[in-house]
Amino acid sequence: PNPVPEFISGALDPEQLDAVLNSSGRTLIIAGPGSGKTRVITYKIAHLVASGIKPENILLVTFTRAASREMIERARRASGSDLKGMLAGTFHHISNYFLRKYSNRIDINSNFTILDREDAKDLIKHCRSQLLEETGKKNSSILPSAGVLQSIYSYAVNCGLSLRESIVHQNRKFLGVEEYIEEIWKRYTILKSENNSLDYDDLLIKALQLFESNPEALEIESMRFRWILVDEFQDTNILQYKLIELLSGVHGNLVVVGDDAQSIYSFRGARFENVFDFLKAPDTKTFKIQTNYRSTPEIVRLINNIIPSSAIEKSLKAVRNPGPMPVIAETWDNMEEANFVAQKIEEHINDGILPEKIAVLYRSHYHSLELQMELDRRKIDYILFSGPRFVETAHVKDIIAFLKVLVNPYDQLSWGRILRLFPGVGSMTSVKIINALQACEGDRDKIIELLKEFNGSRIRLENLLAILEPVKDEKQPVNVIQKIFDTFYSDYLDEKYPDARDRKLDIERLMEISERYSSITELLEDLAVSEKVDIERERTRKEARVVLSTVHQAKGLEWDVVFIIAVNPGDFPSYFSLNEGNIDEEERIFYVAVTRARDYLYIIKQKGGRSRPMMGNRYVFRAGHDFIAKIPEDTVEFWDVGWDL
C-alpha cells in the first residue's frame, strides 16, 4: 500500500487516522464533541484527493455554508489541491444545484426564485388574510398565526406527514379549523407556483422527486459521486437521508459523522434515530473517537457528567493542559447578569484574549437584549449570530427584490415590494399594477412600457424607470445595486430611517459581496441559501468582535471563553419545552452549549423571584427543570455575584 502522506498522519491521532484511512462503503464515525469529527472529514477529503480521486467526484454536505467553506479551505491547505469541481454545501444548496441543472426534467422553470423563511411567511400571511376576508373573519382569533402555520407546514413536509398529523405531532390543538389550515396550504402552494418560486422545503422535496422520477438524472449524479461525506449527520431529516441514500446508490461510499447527543433540530424534523438506523444496517462500518482536543480537563470532566442519554457510550478523554474550573455564577436578575458578563468580557480582553475568541450563548435571541445594551454602554464591539438575518432586513430585501424581478419578471412578491418604495403607490395601486404586469408575460420591454403608462403626477415611477431601463440587460449584480442606490435608494433611506447610516453600510457590504459574482442568478442563490452566520462570520473575520449567538447557531463552533446566560428554568430549558415534554432535546441543547468552550466556561443563573417577561405581559414563574441542580458540585466553582458583594 502507498505510504500515508505525513501531512495527514502527522495531524491525526491513531483513532482519527484509522477513520480517515479505512472509511469506505457505508461508514459511521460517531464521537462526542470536540473529538475531531469535522477534522476527520476534512482530512478524508485531503486523503481522497491525494490518492487520486478527482474533487468533482466528491460531495460534501455540511450544516451551514460557513462550515463548508471553512472545511474546503482547510482541506485545500492540507492537500495542496484547489478542490475545484467538488460539490459542497448544505442540503438546500445542493438541492438547488440539482434543480437548476435538471429543471427541464421536472416541471419547474429554471429561473425560479428561492423564498427565504421570511418571504414564505409573508406569502402564508397573505393567503391567511385572504381566507379570513372571504369567510367574514369569523375565525380570526382561533386560526393560527402565519408563523405557526409555517411551522406546521414545514414540519409536515420534512417528516412526510399530513397536515393533521403534523398538528398532532407538534402537540398543537386547533379544533375545528383544520380545514382552514389545509385551505391556506393549498392557496400557498398555488401562489408559489404563480410566482415561479420555491421555499426551502420545496428545494429538498423537489430534488428528491427529481431523482425518484428520473432514473437518468439519478444515474448521472450517482455515477459522479463516488464519495459522499456528511458532517453533523444527527441533524438530518428523513428527506435528506433519502437523498444521500439515493445518490450513494452506485458507489456506496457514504461516510457520515455525528453525535446523537448533539441533535437539536427536531423541530425541523431532524431524526437522531437516523444515526441508529445507519448503525444497525448490516454493512455499516463504525469508528469511534474518544479523545477531546477542544477543552481543558476541567471542562471535559463537567461534559462527561452531563452527557444526555444516548444509546452509544461516549465518555471523553481529556488531553489538554489543566485550566481554571468551570464557573456557575449566580446573579440576582438579568440586569445584574448583563453587568457581570460585560465586566468579565472586559477583563478577559484586557488579559489579552482576542474579542472574537469570546462568545455568549443563549437559548433564545431575546435573552441577549440587556447584554447588548450593556456592551453598547461599555463600547465593546459584538456581533449577533441571532436575530434577523442580514438578508432578512428590510433594506437588503428591497435591493434583492430588484435583482429578483430582473431574473424572474413573474415574481409578484418582489414587484409588490419594489412598487411600494415609490411615491403614490399604496397597496391598492400596487395590486393594480401587478395585475396589469401579468399580461406582459415576462417581456421586459412590455413591462417598461406598462410602467410608463402608470407613471404620472400622482403615481411617481420615474426613478423606477430610470433604474429598469438601463439595467434590463445588465449582468453584473454590483452595477445594478450601485444604480439602484445612486438613483434613489440612498435618499430614500435618509428620509425613511433614523439609522440610515448603518443601513447604507449594509448595502455597501452587499455590494462587496456581489462584486465576486458575474451573474445575478448566482448571487441570489447564494444569498437565499446562505445561513445568517455566513455573512456575519465574514464580518467577524475582518473586525474583532465578541460573538453573541443562540446555541443553535453555535453548532460545531468553539471559543476560548464561553458564557451561557439565562440558565433558568423557563428560559433555558425553554418554557415551551416544559409544557410539551421535550426536555430531552433541551438537555442536548445545553450539552451543545457547554461543549463549545475551550478554556473558560461561565454558566449564569438568576436567582431572583421570577424570570423576565415573556410573550407580552405574561410573567413566567420559575419552576420545574433546573439544569444547574443536575451538575455535580465538585465539577464546578460557585460564584455569588450579587449587588451586595
- Contact present, 507 and 396 (Cβ < 8 Å): yes
Residue 346: CB minimum distance to ligand ATP, A:
26
Pick 62 or 412: Cβ nearer ligand ATP: 62
16 binds, among Mg ion, ligand ATP, none (CB under 5 to 8 A by kind): ligand ATP
Site membership for Mg ion, residue 556 (CB under 5 A) = yes
Q: How far is the CB of 359 from ligand ATP (least distance, A)?
A: 13
Q: Residues 586, 533: contact at Cβ < 8 Å?
A: no
Cβ-based nearer residue to ligand ATP, 259 or 526? 259
Among Mg ion, ligand ATP, none, what binds residue 395 when CB lies within 5 to 8 Å by partner kind? Answer: none
Least Å distance between CB 260 and Mg ion?
Answer: 14
Question: In whole angstroms, what is the distance from residue 283 CA to residue 546 CA?
Answer: 45
Answer for the pair 564, 628: CB distance below 8 angstroms, yes or no: no
Q: Which lies closer to ligand ATP via its Cβ, residue 39 or residue 588?
A: 39
State in Å, rounded, how far the first CA of the chain is from the last one.
Answer: 67
Q: Does 253 bind Mg ion (CB under 5 A)?
A: no
In the bound state with Mg ion, the residue whose beta carbon lies nearer, of 292 and 368, is 292
Interacting span for Mg ion (CB under 5 A) from 1-9, 102-110, 548-556, 564-572? 548-556
What, of ligand ATP, Mg ion, none, does residue 408 touch, CB below 5 to 8 Å by kind? none
Q: Decide which of ligand ATP, Mg ion, none touches 362; Cβ closer than 5 to 8 Å per partner kind.
A: none
The CB-of-269 to ligand ATP minimum distance in angstroms stands at 21
> Is residue 390 helix, strand or coil?
helix
**Which range of residues in 36-44, 177-185, 395-403, 421-429 is near Mg ion by CB under 5 A?**
36-44
Q: What is d(CA 282, CA 120) in angstroms, rounded to the nearest whole number? A: 41
Cβ-based nearer residue to ligand ATP, 28 or 513: 28
Applying the rule CB under 5 A, the residues between 494 and 533 that interact with Mg ion are none
Q: Choose the binding region for Mg ion from 34-42, 82-90, 442-450, 493-501 (rule: CB under 5 A).
A: 34-42
**Nearest approach, Cβ of 117 to Mg ion (angstroms)?**
24
**Residue 188, contacted partner among Mg ion, ligand ATP, none, CB below 5-8 A by kind:** none
Query: Can residue 38 be called a binding residue for Mg ion (CB under 5 A)?
Result: yes
- Residue 116 interacts, among Mg ion, ligand ATP, none and using kind-specific CB cut-offs from 5 to 8 Å, with none
User: Which of 289/328 has CB closer to Mg ion?
Assistant: 289
- CA torsion 19-23-26-30 (nearest 10°) is 0
Judged by CB, which is closer to ligand ATP: 230, or 371?
A: 230
Q: How many helices (H) and strands (E) does the chain have?
A: 28, 19
17 touches 4 (CB < 8 A): yes
What order of strands is seen across the sheet that includes strand 87-89?
Answer: 87-89, 58-61, 227-230, 254-258, 26-31, 285-289
The nearer residue to ligand ATP, 63 or 627, going by C-beta atoms, is 63
Binding range to Mg ion, per CB under 5 A, among 31-39, 222-230, 493-501, 566-574: 31-39
CB of 36 to Mg ion, least distance (A): 8
| DSSP string covering 38-62 | HHHHHHHHHHHHHTT--GGGEEEE-
Q: Which does 192 bind (CB under 5 to 8 A by kind): ligand ATP, Mg ion, none?
A: none
Q: Which is nearer to ligand ATP, 58 or 257 (CB)?
A: 257
Which of Mg ion, ligand ATP, none does 464 bind, CB closer than 5 to 8 A by kind? Answer: none
Residue 69: CB atoms within 10 A of its CB come to 17
Binding partner at 33 among Mg ion, ligand ATP, none, C-beta below 5 to 8 Å by kind: ligand ATP
Complex with Mg ion: residue 355 or 556, whichever CB lies closer? 556
SS3 of 513-536: the string is HHCCCCCHHHHHHHHHHCCHHHHH
Amino acid at 304: N
Which residue stretches of 351-426 are H helix? 369-377, 394-407, 412-419
Q: Which does 409 bind (CB under 5 to 8 A by kind): ligand ATP, Mg ion, none?
A: none
> Residue 179: what are its φ and ψ, rounded to 5°?
-60, -40
Instruction: Report the nearest approach of Mg ion to the CB of residue 235 (Å).
Output: 11
- In terms of CB distance, is 233 or 410 closer to Mg ion? 233
- The string over 470-495, giving b where at least 16 C-beta atoms fall within 10 Å of a residue's C-beta and e elsewhere, is ebeeeebbbebbebbbebbbeebbee
The residue type found at 639 is W
Contact (CB, 8 A) for 158 and 268: yes
List residues forming the annotated binding site for ATP. 31-38
Which one of ligand ATP, Mg ion, none interacts with residue 92, CB within 5 to 8 A by kind?
Answer: none
Tell me whether residue 258 or residue 269 sits nearer to ligand ATP (CB atom).
258
Name the minimum Å distance from CB 595 to ligand ATP: 6
Q: How far is the CB of 262 from Mg ion (least distance, A)?
A: 9
Binding site residues, ligand ATP, CB under 6 A: 12-13, 16, 31, 33-39, 259, 262, 293-294, 556, 558, 595
Phi/psi of residue 228, nearest 5 degrees: -120, 125
Residue 143 to residue 288: CA distance in whole angstroms: 48
**How many CB atoms are closer than 10 A to CB 12?**
20
User: Least separation, in Å, of the C-beta of 230 and Mg ion?
Assistant: 12
Contacts of 40 by beta carbon, 8 Å cutoff, 6+ apart: 12, 16, 19, 20, 29, 257, 289
Beta carbons of 112 and 206 less than 8 angstroms apart? no
- Of all residues in the shown chain, the one whose CB is closest to Mg ion is 38
Cα–Cα distance, 149 to 167 (Å, whole number): 10
The residue number with the shortest CB distance to ligand ATP is: 36
Closest contact distance (angstroms) between CB of 41 and ligand ATP is 8
> In the bound complex, what is the minimum distance in angstroms from residue 31's beta carbon to ligand ATP?
6
The x, y and z cell numbers of residue 8, run together, are 495527514
Give the binding-site size for Mg ion (rule: CB under 5 A): 3
Torsion of CA 579, 583, 589, 595, to 10 degrees: 150
- The neighbour count for residue 383, using CB atoms within 10 Å, is 19
Distance, in Å, from the CA atom of 51 to the CA atom of 428, rounded to the nearest integer, reads 64
**Residue 477 binds which of ligand ATP, Mg ion, none (CB < 5-8 A, kind-dependent):** none
Report residue 566: phi and psi, to 5°: 55, 45
Interface contacts to Mg ion, rule CB under 5 A: 37-38, 556
